[in-house]
Amino acid sequence: MVIKIPRTTLAIIGLLLSLGSRAMSQLVPGSMDVHWNQGASDCAANPQPPIQVHPYNLQTFVLRENPCSTAEAPFLYLLVGSAKALLIDTGDVADPKQMPLAQTVMALLPPEGQLDGQLDRPLKIPLVVVHTHGHLDHRLGDSQFGHLSNVEVVPADLSHVRKYFGFRDWPNGLAQLDLGGRTVDVIPTPGHYPSHVSYYDRQTGLFFSGDFF
Non-local CB neighbours of 152 within 8 Å, separated by 6+ positions: 126, 127, 128, 129
Query: What is the enclosing helix (H) or strand (E) of 17?
Result: helix 7-22
| For the chain, domain boundaries | 45-165
Superfamily, domain 45-165? Ribonuclease Z/Hydroxyacylglutathione hydrolase-like (3.60.15.10)
Least confident of 5-14, 69-78, 110-119: 5-14
- pLDDT tops 70 at residue 15: no
pLDDT of residue 2: 44
- pLDDT tops 80 at residue 22: no
Is the pTM of the predicted complex or chain greater than 0.85?
yes
Instruction: Check if the beta carbon of residue 187 is closer than 8 Å to that of residue 12.
Output: yes
Terminal-to-terminal C-alpha distance of the chain: 12
pLDDT of residue 212: 81
Q: Where are the alpha helices (DSSP H) in 51-210?
A: 101-108, 158-165
- pLDDT tops 50 at residue 119: yes
Q: Express each pLDDT in 122-157 by its tens digit.
A: 789 999 999 999 999 999 999 999 999 899 999 999
Per the model's pLDDT, the better-predicted residue between 22 and 123 turns out to be: 123
